[in-house]
Amino acid sequence: MDFNNIKKRIERIYASINERFDNDLEKHINIEKKVTDSFQSFKVSFDKKQKEAEISNKIISIIHNLANIKDNLKNKLKGRGDDPNLIEQEINNSLPVKIVIDLSNQEKHGYPLTKYIRSYKNPQICNIESILRISNGEFMFDPITEQINSSGGCGIAIKADINDGQGNFICRLDKLIDDVIVEWGKIINKYNIT
């Protein structure tokens, strides 16, 4: 595996990002049936089977992949005789990238960071949960047959918030990921890194 190939690196980033979604609903859905004398009810819940550690690991994998491309980009610039600190300057101008780098460093070194904190926010990943996501699709539960049917973009997604060290909301995880992807894309294009 060529760890220095930027195209392959970006493919791995997208692969980890896509791990947030799972369209196989059956392995995530729990149906509880309650029957009384004249009444029947159902409780449909999602992702009781997926453990918080599994969800957190998926998030951390995304964060690390997004943060660690920085060194690859610096090496590419250095290899062609350009100043690798240009990447550091670009990072310093992007709050989303600084937050991702801080989150990655916190996972490696512990929270809160005692050394160089790029975002000055001491960001934290909070309110982690799995949710049912329906995008151009539908989810149906038939109480007679107790069958679940879905179509289109229907699946389980990982949701989380990013808060600062005082618990103030910064952004949603999805927004952070999208913003960082855009920022890295701009940097890669600006410096013609291939």
- Does 1 fall in a domain? no
| Structural domain span for residue 157 | 6-190
Alpha-carbon torsion (79, 85, 89, 91), positive or negative: positive
Tens-place pLDDT, residues 82-112:
999 999 999 999 999 999 999 999 998 888 7
- Does 167 fall in a domain? yes
- Does 120 fall in a domain? yes
User: Looking at residue 24, what is its pLDDT?
Assistant: 81
Mean pLDDT over 57-61 rounds to: 95
Q: How many domains does the chain have?
A: 1
- Does 68 fall in a domain? yes
pTM of the model: 0.85
- Does 34 fall in a domain? yes
User: Looking at residue 50, what is its pLDDT?
Assistant: 62
- Does 64 fall in a domain? yes
Going by C-beta distance under 8 Å and a sequence separation of 6 or more, which residues neighbour residue 66?
A: 13, 100, 104, 177, 180, 181, 184
User: Looking at residue 171, what is its pLDDT?
Assistant: 98
3-state secondary structure 12-63: HHHHHHHCCEECCHHHCEEEEEEECCCCEEEEEEECCCCCHHHHHHHHHHHH
User: Looking at residue 113, what is its pLDDT?
Assistant: 74
Whether omega for the bond prior to residue 112 falls within 30 degrees of 0, making it cis, is yes
